[in-house]
Amino acid sequence: MSPVLSGVLQFLALFVALGLAYRPLGDYMARVYSSDKHLRVEKWIYKAIGANPSTEMRWPAYLRGVLA
């Protein structure tokens, strides 16, 4: 098999895989990121680090998180 044909087939396989996965994956991500519910493990982590997940993060806190 020539390298060009191999590349084209790989591109087509990736394109088809993304085409099949975008809707269920997008729905899942929208549900996860817009939900107000938190898992038990997440609640423990929030409590351990002293974070309040229901408030907006201000820029100084965001900067500390990025630098950490």
pLDDT digits (tens, 9 = 90+) for 20-37: 999 999 999 998 888 888
**Three-state DSSP string of the chain:** CCHHHHHHHHHHHHHHHHHHHHHHHHHHHHHHHHCCCCCHHHHHHHHHHCCCCCCCCCHHHHHHHHHC
User: Do 62 and 42 lie in a common domain?
Assistant: yes
What average pLDDT does the structure give for the chain?
A: 89
Q: Please tell me whether residues 45 and 29 are part of one structural domain.
A: no
Domain that holds residue 46: 38-68
Q: What is the pLDDT of residue 34?
A: 87
How many domains does the chain fold into? 2
Domain shared by 42 and 21, yes or no: no
26 and 48 assigned to the same domain: no
The verdict on 21 and 5 lying in the same domain is yes
- Same-domain check for residues 30 and 42: no
Q: Residue 18: which pLDDT band, with cuts at 50, 70 and 90?
A: very high
Q: What is the pTM of this model?
A: 0.49
